[in-house]
Structures are given as structure tokens and as C-alpha cells.
Amino acid sequence: MSDPKRGLVPLAPLALILLFPCFACVADELGRTGPDVRRGPWTAVGVVLVLAIGVVLGGAGVLAARGSRLIGSIGGAGEVVAIAVAIGLGCGVLVESQALDAPRDVPNLAWLQRDSALLAVDAAREAGKPVLLDFTATWSPPTLRFDDDTPEHARVRVEASRFVRVHVEASDDEETIVRDLLNRFHIVGVPALIMFDRSGREAFHLEGYSSPEEVLAAMKRVE
């Protein structure tokens, strides 16, 4: 007679090891908040699938521990394959959901440079367009972090496409043009983002590191 406790019981540690990344994916997905987060139906499918896998495996483990003949008769090799395939499928759906729910068309943005900053701000006001004025410096750690996280963020780029965009390289604040622009726009530290609305009024003045969520929320409020 076969041992009723044979089956998933010896594989419990393996199941937990394989299942942990799945629940980590779910926790990461559900923990994402802010204006950048847009969840679609595929995200829901992935989350439900992974949680269902966890419930099934947990229930099977309990039944095996209690001596279920049905669970105990399952072959060890088959269990490993089933667990690996199910968990891989769940994680795959979650990963794919991120691509399916992401922006479809992300523009490649061109930025005007500091030499044309003042003219661009004035021209945008006359044309009734909002302005995004970006100050950075290569020696600033917050700037390096900001450059990695925010300007190239997909949803930030999509929203920024409706702005007149001007980048001011302010690494050398002894340069006359840099000093004049820093004084003109009252910049104390970099990185800095200034947003002007269609009328030319300063709508937001952000200094220091700003996350993609913070910048996106501010841009959406600029008309």
C-alpha cells in the first residue's frame, strides 16, 4: 500500500521557494500607486491566477499532510513539473500585463537648449502653449538620479509632448547665460523644473529630486 503522506509533503519547501517570486510579483503590482499606475484586465488576470495557484498548492499541502490518498498518489516528478509550469505561467501573465497596460505610443522628445530659453518662453506665451523649463547639472547627485528616473519615464514623456520643452545645462554657474537664467527664474538648487501655463504664468516650481509621479501630477494640472 502506498504511503498516503507521499506526494507533495516532501516538495513543500520546493513549492514555497518557487511560489515566493509569484507572491512577490503580486505584492509589487498591488503596491504600485500614483498617477502613473494604470491597470488593465491583464493585470487582474495575472494577480488572480497567481493567487489561485497559491490557494491550490496550499490546499494540496494540507491534504497531503493529513494523509489524503488522492494527493498522496500524485507522482513526485509530475508535481515538480506542474508547480513550475503553473508558477511560470502566473509570473509570465503578470510581466506581460505590464507591457499590455503600458502607453502604446511614447514620443521621442526634442528639447530646446538654454540659448533659446527666454525666446522660447515668450514665444510659447504668445502661442498659448505651456512651457516646461528644466535645469540640471552634471555634478549634482540628485540630478543624476532625476535624469535616470523622470525625463525618460514613458508617461512623463507622453504628457510632456504638449509642452514647449527647454533644457538648461547649468553645470557651470559662472557662465553668464547660466547665471542670468538662474537669477531670472529664481533657481536655488538643481535639478529644477518650472512649468508655465498657456498664459505664461508660473504654475509649478520644483527643485531637488522629483519622482515621475510628482512631475506627472504637476504637468496634468497645467493648462
- Look up the CATH architecture of domain 114-220: 3-Layer(aba) Sandwich (3.40)
- Are residues 217 and 125 in contact, defined by beta-carbon separation less than 8 angstroms? no
104 CB burial (10 A radius; 0-12, 13-18, 19+): exposed
Q: Which residue has the higher pLDDT, 125 or 71?
A: 125
Query: Which residue, 101, 90, 76, 85, is CA-closest to 23?
Result: 90
> Taking the domains of the chain in order of start, what are their residue ranges?
12-100, 114-220
Q: Cα-flanking dihedrals φ and ψ of residue 196, to 5°?
A: -110, 140
As a whole number, mean pLDDT of residues 32-46 equals 52
Q: What is the pLDDT of residue 8?
A: 45
pLDDT band at 4 (very low <50, low <70, confident <90, very high): very low
Q: What is the pLDDT of residue 22?
A: 58
Q: What is the pLDDT of residue 9?
A: 45
Q: Beginning with the edge strand found earlier in the chain, give each strand of the sheet holding 131-136 in spatial order.
A: 164-169, 131-136, 192-196, 202-207
pLDDT exceeds cutoff 60 at 11: no
Q: What is the pLDDT of residue 153?
A: 87
Grid cell in block for residue 175: 557662465
With a pLDDT cut of 70, the percent of the chain lying above it is: 53
200 CB burial (10 A radius; 0-12, 13-18, 19+): middle
